[in-house]
Structure 1
Amino acid sequence: MGHILNAGLHGSGYLKNATVPACLIAGNDDENPDNLIAADLEISQGKLVRILPAGTPSGLHGTFDLDGGLVLPTLVDLHTHLDKGHIWPRKANPDGSFQGALEAVGADRTANWSAVDLRARMEFALKSAYAHGTSAIRTHLDSLPPQDSVTWPLFSEIRAEWADRIDLQGVCLFGIDRLLEDGRIYLSCIADRVAAAGGVMGAVTYMVPNIDMHLEAVFRAAMERGLDLDFHVDETLNPAAVTLRHIAETAIRLGFEGKIVCGHCCSLSVHEEAEAEKTLDLLAEAGVAIVSLPMCNMYLQDRQAGRTPRRRGVTLLHEMRARGIPVSVASDNTRDPFYAYGDLDLVEVYAQATRILHLDHPIADWISSVSSTPADIMNVPHGRLRPGAPADLILFRARTWNELLSRPAGPREVIRGGYSIDSKLPDYRELDHLMLERQA
């Protein structure tokens, strides 16, 4: 993570001989979605002033030759779990299974999730994401009582403290089976808390009795408060899991006007073709956006001890995009029982997603899945190269998609508001005081 610009950028400068994706230039109507164009970028007083044809004389002091290096806007991570992050050293998943993850996180939450513990781990994760070049993050927050009374106020504090570096959005997270118990009371309380915090309504959905009634309750709680929705959906390879279809049908039946995101949707990959097509058509009609979490899905799905996994566990992104359904990929969990690895690096996520989901041949504009598409869903001004906006950029030595995807951890420099930032990643030792049960 060394500086590509020898002296760094300090608010103003001229970046010549850059390579930029046409699909990420705001207002560009290039007909070839995977087109990379040679360009010069003029930065003044912290803003990206102009994107010019390569070789345009600048007459400016502070000219930097990128030698064909790629330039991307800072990226947008649509689905993370900052509150779970980095607990692996003290609470590993005993067998790598989904059930093992649930039990391990539940035990760790009960024992350790104080405001002090959460703050240290969340800030560590944010420092990592910032150094990698992420400027907006949506995080799901475990929201069952009494944890909600600790996590949500802390999240609001951290969001304010990080406002000039990363735009943060919070989504409440609880299993929809909670509504089988004291559902109405809990739902009203958590929806009010989310609304007060300017968050997003969410739940983990799976096939429980009266699923349509419970989905409608969540939808109506959001509608009454003007909230968007973001669900965990069918995170299983059980073909009987069809809550994705029920969500789309509920949205259509109620005329929901807010934004809806559904994450995971793994079971769709094992549905019969005709059934999958029906669900995809409903998603398109309802205007539902999808976020796939390929690294976590591959880690958890189709895992059986002593048996090689047969299935990737990811959803039907190509078929969705062909119908005009907005699709993104994101980091999901980081060093916790649901995913033992990761570092909130969206360049790594994009590279892994390309391999796992075959987002290549052609590359097309799949880079939008970690940039402009999630930015539009979150309604944040990131993920595009926009003249007149703050110069928030990632500069690479890689010159082509192939070079970037082959070496995603290669040299990069992050520019925020026209200034080169310190891209040094936090040391894991910073969290040692929290790791009560050190594990390999």
Structure 2
Amino acid sequence: MSLDHIFRNARIAGNEGHLVDIGIRAGRFAAIGVGLEADAPSEDLGGRLVVPGFVETHIHLDKSCLLGRCVCEKGTLEEAIGAVAAAKKAFTVEDVYARGKRTLEKAILQGTQRMRTHVEVDPRIGLTSIHALKQLKKDYAWAIDLKLCVFPQEGLLDDPGCEDVMVAALEAGADVVGGAPYMDKDSHGQIAHVFALAQRFGVDIDFHLDFGLDPSHLDLLEVCRLAEETGWSGRVAIGHVTKLSAVPHDRLVELAKRLAGAGVAVTALPATDLFLIGREYDHNVPRGVALAHVLMAHGVTCSLSTNNVLNPFTPFGDCSLVRISNLYANVAQVGTPAGMATCLDMVTSSSARLLNLADYGIREGVPADMVVLDCTTRAEAVSELAPPLFGLKAGRRTFTRPAAHLHVPALESVA
């Protein structure tokens, strides 16, 4: 057997009970099995867990790293939107590129290899951020697949000229179209316009949706209706959906079945939603995080994601999806090994399904994209915040983070 490299004694996520060897040839997985025989350099992974790269389904590269430019005291969604809208006036292609690069490199070093970033466009910012992130996408294609989702953060129908800019962005090569229906007085009107744009350009849809704690009005029902009516089932995702945290369990199950039937996926964003939701409470503050693992149990494709990094929406973030899955597990009180494994799935395999990635996974014939974690199971990765040690993209090593070494005095003196 002709191979370029072999990684021995690996535990592949989802089948971590078995040790296998992973053989790579010409940038693809060429052989997976026990005791591969080939005249090729090899590396012993010592039973560590291998995942096919982390998948970030919902992040905002264009407005990351804005701390210091925005003054926020209330910590509300409205304040964050206003602060970023003001800061956005000074955005340039160079500025967006530099901040996006800083965040993207953090994500790569944390093992993220696929990413969908939301990009704000409107009559004031125009295509500035699109131009910057298209260049970033090209420059970092060696390490990460980046997809751009354009959306109107400050409203679509109530912001004259915004739809023209959205069209221009899609014509310029944006990959996905999004929306924030709660920013328009006619939320259903915005949803309909976004679906029309998706059909016109043949792209997937990703909404910011149902943000808040009052579940008496749920735009997700209209999204489900249109997904079925337009034939876009399986091509629509909704993010945040914090209102789902405020419904009784029976109602949540009912809504989960509706979402699953309509082929509408859900992304929970625990870091941002914990920071923004429930500011009006001074005790018994609600968590405001959609229970994605419950939705998943009823057939909904779900992901966990970062959303914002170092800005008024979320003044934290190291771009670690392992940390996001651990945060979610804590908030959602998921403590069983199977439950924690599901949390890791929501930043890997389930996230890949949300993005409709056909070439994702560790199997023969697909690109050799993989990340090695310093643990042996998915549950350990989540419970112990296992660090990524190194990653490969199409068979080429993209980052290395050496495992920590304890310098024991007696041992060091002997050495």
Identify the TM-score tier after normalising by the shorter chain. 0.7 to 0.9
**Residue number in structure 2 paired with 1:314:** 289
SS of 1:370's equivalent? Answer: coil
**Structure 2: runs of 5+ lacking an equivalent:** 403-415
Residues 41, 51 of structure 1: 8 Å contact kept: yes
SS of 1:171's equivalent? Answer: strand
1:400-415 correspondence to structure 2 within 5 Å: 400-408=377-385, 410=387, 412-415=389-392
Residues 77, 134 of structure 1: 8 Å contact kept: yes
1:175 positional shift: 4.3
Distance in 2 between residues matched to 1:290 and 1:143, nearest whole Å: 23
C-alpha distance 225-63 of structure 1, shift in aligned 2 (>3 A): closer
**Residue number in structure 1 paired with 2:371:** 394
**Residue number in structure 2 paired with 1:139:** 117
Distance in 1 between residues matched to 2:242 and 2:229, nearest whole Å: 24
Match of 2:105 among 117, 123, 127: 127
Match of 1:245 among 221, 240, 248: 221
**Residue number in structure 1 paired with 2:352:** 375
The two structures have a TM-score, normalised by structure 2, of 0.87
1:337 positional shift: 0.7
C-alpha distance 266-131 of structure 1, shift in aligned 2 (>3 A): same
C-alpha distance 135-406 of structure 1, shift in aligned 2 (>3 A): same
**Residue number in structure 1 paired with 2:8:** 16
1:380 positional shift: 3.4
SS of 1:178's equivalent? Answer: coil
Letter in 1 for 2:291: L
Residues 269, 307 of structure 2: 8 Å contact kept: yes
1:229 positional shift: 1.0
1:140-159 correspondence to structure 2 within 5 Å: 140-159=118-137
Match of 2:273 among 278, 294, 297: 297
**Residue number in structure 2 paired with 1:31:** none
C-alpha distance 36-103 of structure 1, shift in aligned 2 (>3 A): farther
Distance in 2 between residues matched to 1:396 and 1:175, nearest whole Å: 36
Match of 1:63 among 29, 34, 42: 42
SS of 2:127's equivalent? Answer: helix
Match of 1:44 among 10, 16, 25: 25
Residues 22, 37 of structure 1: 8 Å contact kept: no
Letter in 2 for 1:128: K
**Residue number in structure 1 paired with 2:95:** 117
1:421 positional shift: 3.1
Distance in 2 between residues matched to 1:57 and 1:251, nearest whole Å: 46
**Residue number in structure 1 paired with 2:320:** 345
Distance in 1 between residues matched to 2:243 and 2:383, nearest whole Å: 30
Distance in 2 between residues matched to 1:17 and 1:117, nearest whole Å: 44
1:171 aligned to 2:146?
no
1:219 positional shift: 1.4
**Residue number in structure 2 paired with 1:7:** none
1:131-280 correspondence to structure 2 within 5 Å: 131-175=109-153, 177-180=155-158, 182=160, 186-206=162-182, 209-256=185-232, 259-273=235-249, 275-280=251-256
246-255 vs 326-335, which moves further:
246-255
**Residue number in structure 2 paired with 1:438:** none
The two structures have a TM-score, normalised by structure 1, of 0.82
Distance in 2 between residues matched to 1:152 and 1:92, nearest whole Å: 26
1:72 aligned to 2:81?
no
1:98-109 correspondence to structure 2 within 5 Å: 98-109=77-88
Letter in 2 for 1:178: L
1:152 positional shift: 1.5
**Residue number in structure 1 paired with 2:411:** none
Distance in 1 between residues matched to 2:205 and 2:386, nearest whole Å: 33
1:411-430 correspondence to structure 2 within 5 Å: 412-423=389-400
1:384 aligned to 2:361?
yes
Residues 209, 240 of structure 2: 8 Å contact kept: yes
**Residue number in structure 2 paired with 1:333:** 308
Distance in 1 between residues matched to 2:153 and 2:23, nearest whole Å: 49
1:85 positional shift: 0.7
Distance in 2 between residues matched to 1:181 and 1:133, nearest whole Å: 38
Distance in 2 between residues matched to 1:196 and 1:232, nearest whole Å: 22
249-258 vs 93-102, which moves further:
249-258
Runs of 4 or more consecutive aligned structure 1 residues displaced over 6 Å after TM superposition:
none
1:170 positional shift: 1.1
Letter in 2 for 1:202: G
How many residue pairs get aligned? The number is 398
Residues 235, 266 of structure 1: 8 Å contact kept: yes
1:255 positional shift: 4.1
Distance in 2 between residues matched to 1:141 and 1:212, nearest whole Å: 21
Distance in 2 between residues matched to 1:342 and 1:36, nearest whole Å: 32
Q: Considering Cα pairs closer than 8 Å and 6+ residues apart, tell me whether 1 or 2 has the greater RCO.
A: 1
C-alpha distance 36-350 of structure 1, shift in aligned 2 (>3 A): farther
C-alpha distance 147-404 of structure 1, shift in aligned 2 (>3 A): same
Distance in 2 between residues matched to 1:410 and 1:177, nearest whole Å: 39
Residues 14, 58 of structure 1: 8 Å contact kept: no
